[in-house]
């Protein structure tokens, strides 16, 4: 049985198809992949899923890019343009991104700009990409100065999700995906927080529920002019942590601790109860994600935030929480308040941090 979620866009709609065995029993004609297809994956995923999938397509070109956030760059996009030309891709071709969020973002940006745009299909193979980055049409790459500073809106022709591929996903990547799922639960679906307690058992229910949270937001605000910014909960902290760490922190790991930081900041600004801190921290800890920033420098993290694309005219901008299902955008948060939060999650153990935050009240 397949789940299908249709995403309405300003130009029409596209389907998200979720079914076990989709990639191992691919039907190219049914999925619109019976013409010229450039299947782009990374060096980790291509041997496992890319090569078998390419052999099942009638007219494929299998292209690989290096694995890792370090390669989410304009240089990689330039290489893809050359590969597309060498493969003879024209405007009728379909570009398929097979991989995690880095593959989807990078390949999507190449598809959005090659010949001023060719059709694009997302085939996410990581949990994080399935529930978040493959949905909503945001594509792009990083610059040395910051994450996702170059990009575009490029709606996919479709998103094809086969949960069976999660069987080969490393445990660290499972945990990273759970960060975005917890985020979606905090924003709009408290049931996800309950399902997260036994996420491997509940994954077939978690995936469509988490996707539906994002779909509802991006349909209401496709170009992030208002409530779509709520999806950045924890991400102002997270993107800066990734950058300062030299991307040794994976995105989901940074989002997890970023959710704790955003909740701490919310309590410090008297927006939410300190009890919410304990809940968020326990959720992040229980799925095995880091809860401290260890040796990262709070001042360096604050400096990295200055290039965050969510800031405007140099004004700080954070998505915070007044409670579960109650996100709030707050501008002009003082540096001292942010540094205080970062210091609290730097070295102290969880119990001591909870006591400290209660004293902040």
Distance between CA atoms of 209 and 331, rounded to whole angstroms?
30
- Of 175, 183, 214, 353, the catalytic one is 214
Q: Does residue 228 have an active-site annotation? A: yes
Residues lower than pLDDT 70 in the chain: 1, 309, 347-361
- How is residue 99 annotated by DSSP? E
- Of 173, 224, 242, 281, the catalytic one is 224
Q: Which tens digits make up the pLDDT trace of 142-199? A: 999 889 999 999 999 999 999 999 999 999 999 999 999 999 999 999 999 999 999 9
**Joined tokens for residue 240:** 């800066």
- Of 72, 147, 183, 251, the catalytic one is 251
- Residue 21, phi-psi category: left (phi > 0), alpha (psi -120 to 50), beta (remainder): left
Q: Does residue 348 have an active-site annotation? A: no
| Unique residue bearing structure tokens 């989901």 | 252
Beta bridge partners of residue 4, listed in sequence order? 17
Q: Is residue 311 a contact partner of residue 305, using CB atoms and an 8 Å limit?
A: yes
- Of 72, 184, 209, 239, the catalytic one is 239
- Of 154, 235, 317, 353, the catalytic one is 235
The enclosing H or E element of 22 equals none
Q: Does residue 209 have an active-site annotation? A: no
**Joined tokens for residue 79:** 């290489």
């Amino acid at each position: 049985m397949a789940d299908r979620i249709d995403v309405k866009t300003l130009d029409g709609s596209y389907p998200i198809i979720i079914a076990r065995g989709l990639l191992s029993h691919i039907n190219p004609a049914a999925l619109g992949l019976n013409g010229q297809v450039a299947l782009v994956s990374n060096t980790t995923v291509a041997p496992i899923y890319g090569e078998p999938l390419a052999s099942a397509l009638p007219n494929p070109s299998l292209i690989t890019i290096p694995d890792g956030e370090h390669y989410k760059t304009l240089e990689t996009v330039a290489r893809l343009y050359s590969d597309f030309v060498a493969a003879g891709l024209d405007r009728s071709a379909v570009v398929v991104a097979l991989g995690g969020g880095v593959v989807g973002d990078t390949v999507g940006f190449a598809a959005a700009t090659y010949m001023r745009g060719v059709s694009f299909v997302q085939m996410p193979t990581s949990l994080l990409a399935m529930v978040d980055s493959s949905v909503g049409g945001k594509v792009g790459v990083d610059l040395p100065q910051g994450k996702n500073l170059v990009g575009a809106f490029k709606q996919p022709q479709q998103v094809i999700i086969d949960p069976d591929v999660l069987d080969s996903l490393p445990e660290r990547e499972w945990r990273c995906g759970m960060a975005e799922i917890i985020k979606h639960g905090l924003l709009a679906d408290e049931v996800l927080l309950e399902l997260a307690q036994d996420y491997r058992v509940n994954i077939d229910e978690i995936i469509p529920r988490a996707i539906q949270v994002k779909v509802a937001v991006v349909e209401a605000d496709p170009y992030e002019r208002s409530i779509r910014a709520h999806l950045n909960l924890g991400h102002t902290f997270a993107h800066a942590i990734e950058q300062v760490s030299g991307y040794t922190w994976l995105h989901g790991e940074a989002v997890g601790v970023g959710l704790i930081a955003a909740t701490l900041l919310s309590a410090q600004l008297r927006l939410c109860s300190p009890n919410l801190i304990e809940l968020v921290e326990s959720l992040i800890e229980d799925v095995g994600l880091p809860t401290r920033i260890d040796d990262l420098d709070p001042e360096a993290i604050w400096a990295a935030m200055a290039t965050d694309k969510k800031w405007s005219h140099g004004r700080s901008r954070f998505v915070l929480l007044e409670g579960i299902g109650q996100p709030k955008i707050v501008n002009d948060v003082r540096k001292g308040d942010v540094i205080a939060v970062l210091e609290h999650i730097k070295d102290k153990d969880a119990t001591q941090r909870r006591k400290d935050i209660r004293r902040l009240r």
